[in-house]
Amino acid sequence: MKNRTIQNIVSLLVVLVLSTAAGCYRKTPEQRAERIVNGITEKLDLDEAQKSKLNSMKEEFLAKAPAMKKAREETFDEMIGLMRGPSIDQGRIDELIRKNRAQADDLIGYLFNNFAEFHALLTPEQREKAAREMERWREHYQEYKREGKP
């Protein structure tokens, strides 16, 4: 009887640990993007046409993600190679700077163009709600920084 109780308790603990671990898995970029789109849709009360456009913007961004990830990995690999060398080749550093600056400029342009597209989708009331939400996030970030978090 005592062994049976111990087995039941151990089984219960295993189930609890596994179910907790299953709920804590890291979300994929697609899942995170979907969550963001759903949050925006709900908070701004988007209609179907607006939601459809926002979803197409999400899909376009997700299509770019693998290339951005590959570029980050290539840059990191290059930096590791430089670190392992006996000295740093300034020409390679300059090339990395040029390449990464061009990629950053492309991404910034893409994001601000999408920002303008998103703005054009919204009604004045929705833009005001979005602006208030942006202020809330800025305050949240500033509070986070005041607490000394990176």
pLDDT digits (tens, 9 = 90+) for 102-131: 999 999 999 999 999 999 999 999 999 999
The rounded percent of the chain whose pLDDT value lies above 90 is 71
d(CA 144, CA 101): 28
pLDDT of res. 123: 96
Residue range 63-87: mean pLDDT, rounded: 93
How many other C-beta atoms are found inside a 10 Å radius of the C-beta of residue 54? 21
Instruction: Give the other-Cβ count within 10 Å of 61's Cβ.
Output: 15
Q: HEC states along the chain?
A: CHHHHHHHHHHHHHHHHHHHHHHCCCCCHHHHHHHHHHHHHHHHCCCHHHHHHHHHHHHHHHHHHHHHHHHHHHHHHHHHHHHHCCCCCHHHHHHHHHHHHHHHHHHHHHHHHHHHHHHHHCCHHHHHHHHHHHHHHHHHHHHHHHCCCC
pLDDT for position 8:
65
Q: In Å, how far from its chain's centre is CA 86? A: 36
Domain boundaries, the chain: 28-146
Task: Enter the pTM of the model.
Answer: 0.70
Average pLDDT, the chain: 87
Kindly state the tokens that stand for 85: 């060398």
pLDDT category at 74 given cuts 50, 70, 90 is very high
| CATH match of 28-146 with 1.20.120 | yes
Per-residue pLDDT, 99: 93
Tens-digit pLDDT profile for residues 4-19 = 666 667 666 666 666 5
Distance CA 70, CA 48 (A): 34
pLDDT value for 146:
80
* Mean pLDDT of the region 83-102: 92
pLDDT band for position 26 (50/70/90)? confident
Average pLDDT estimate for 74-82: 93
